[in-house]
Amino acid sequence: MDHFTYRDGQLHAEDVPMAAIAEAVGTPVYIYSRATLERHAQVFKSALAGLPRTHVAFAIKANPNLAVLKVLARQGFGADVVSGGEIARALAAGMRAEDIVFSGVGKTRAELQYALDVGIGQFNLELEEEGAVLAQLAAACGKTASAVLRVNPDVDAGTHAKISTGKSENKFGVPISDAMGIFARLSGLPGLNLRGVALHIGSQLFDLAPLEAAYARVGALVAELRAAGHVIDRVDLGGGLGVPYERDKVPPSPADYGAMVERVTQGWDVTLMFEPGRVIVGNAGVLLTRVIWVKPGVLRPYVIVDAAMNDLARPAMYDAYHDFEAVNPSGTRVVANIAGPVCETGDTFAMGREIDAVQSGDLAIFRTAGAYGATMASTYNSRALVPEVMVDGDKFAVVAERVLPETLIAAEHVPDWLK
Ligand SMILES: *Cc1c(COP(=O)(O)O)cnc(C)c1O
């Protein structure tokens, strides 16, 4: 459920007409709904209400905007981060350091040190050497790093290859069969409290069965580790729940997911950590765009919009589908292609899609753009960095400015010997 709905034939974000935002801020622009964000956070929390001890760390790579993080921090969410920059963002949004989980296959030594300095709550180790280095760094500054080992359960999550992370050939985690040996060598190192395991098998998951199979494998590993004398008090179950990009393709609900987790983790006696990203922010954002031209095509017309692959990369990167809707639909439908202005054939949002008929100058949105949208934006083709707006009832605010080419040019330098 979201708060982007038609009133009197005009698309609104909560109580604000989209046209008012276009007028004030220009296009393209991302628009987030605070009420939708809060609702999604609450639905996720209530899905976990039957579990004894839980901690939710929002995967902030999905949407690191400070205002978005602030809304989620107020819902009691911490952050799952994958870089030093994301730690800085989580802290800037008012999240507590101990609520931060540090994931990522390539944490640098400087990032590990920074995370120790600010006192984050959990390091998710991706390889044995990382654990040894972290132990050394922590011991050297008189601290003990709280850590879990990310295992790769070798399951096929059944999602797009570029967002699958839990198969043995993927770069993430250690083979689950190596975990016992790694625990034996790392636990007891001064500076390290290796207290559990983590997994994350992929994103935009539509089937709970592979997740349940992976969780069951981790449950068996926890029992083995305990039998070998290790104290295990945390399991990090990752993120990955899908969202409905297409209305007739409905993913499992957070409640279905919570029920599955309750079933499979029965008797584990650990704190369960969760790292949802997309499911919290996906439907809480849209990308508002204006039609520049409707260009006659050989087979179908091309609707050329002012948003492009640099603003919303998912279609070009993952062949992703985003619903396209006119802000003031006339009722007429046409079959058309939708593309942006960037000089790449991949800058195409849809081919041969039935959409609202639009004309040059009309406003339209791409739906479900709150996750992996603005955060992946670039300035390719010397386009401005796309701005972001948050709506709350009848008010709205710019929560990230449009960064103009002039600003980017000012950060570049021509050396003296070229002047
Ligand atoms: C990306 C990521 C997530 C979030 O994935 P979603 O599909 O957005 O829920 C969680 N944990 C880790 C380790 C990740 O890399």
β-partners of residue 199 are none
Atom of ligand 1 nearest to the CA of 124: 13
Catalytic residue (choose from 161, 227, 299, 343)? 343
Q: Which residues pair with 194 in a beta bridge?
A: 147
Domain ranges of the chain: 4-32+282-410, 34-281
pLDDT tens digit sequence for 224-246: 999 999 999 999 999 999 999 99
pLDDT in tens, 343-378: 999 999 999 999 999 999 999 999 999 999 999 999
Give the chain's mean pLDDT. 96
Query: With b meaning 16 or more CB within 10 Å and e meaning fewer, what string describes 61-75?
Result: bbbbbbbbbbbbbeb
Task: Using alpha carbons, select from 142, 101, 143, 150 the residue that is nearest to residue 121.
Answer: 101
Note the pLDDT tens digit of each residue in 114-171. 999 999 999 999 999 999 999 999 999 999 999 999 999 988 877 777 777 777 778 8
**What's the 274 CA to ligand 1 centre distance in angstroms?**
9
CA of 280 to the centre of ligand 1 (A): 11
**Listed residue (214, 133, 129, 126) closest to 174, CA to CA:** 126
Does 152 sit in the ligand 1 pocket, CB within 6 Å?
A: no
Pick one of 2.60.40.10, 3.30.70.330, 1.10.10.10, 2.40.37.10 as the CATH number of 4-32+282-410.
2.40.37.10
CB neighbours of residue 297 within 10 Å: 13
- pTM summary value: 0.96
2 lines ligand 1 (CB under 6 A): no
CATH number for the segment(s) 34-281: 3.20.20.10
Atom number in ligand 1 closest to CA 82: 15
Q: Which atom of ligand 1 is nearest to the CA of 205?
A: 7
- Here the tokens at position 50 are 């039957």
Q: What's the rounded Cα separation, in Å, for the pair 235 and 199?
A: 8
**Residue 22: CA atoms inside 13 Å, Cβ hemisphere, count?**
21
Best residue among 40, 80, 152 to mutate for probing ligand 1's pocket (most ligand atoms within 8 Å of CB) is: 80
Q: Are 370 and 40 in contact (CB under 8 A)?
A: no
Q: Is the separation of the CB atoms in 70 and 37 below 8 Å?
A: no
- 142 alpha carbon to ligand 1 midpoint, in Å? 31
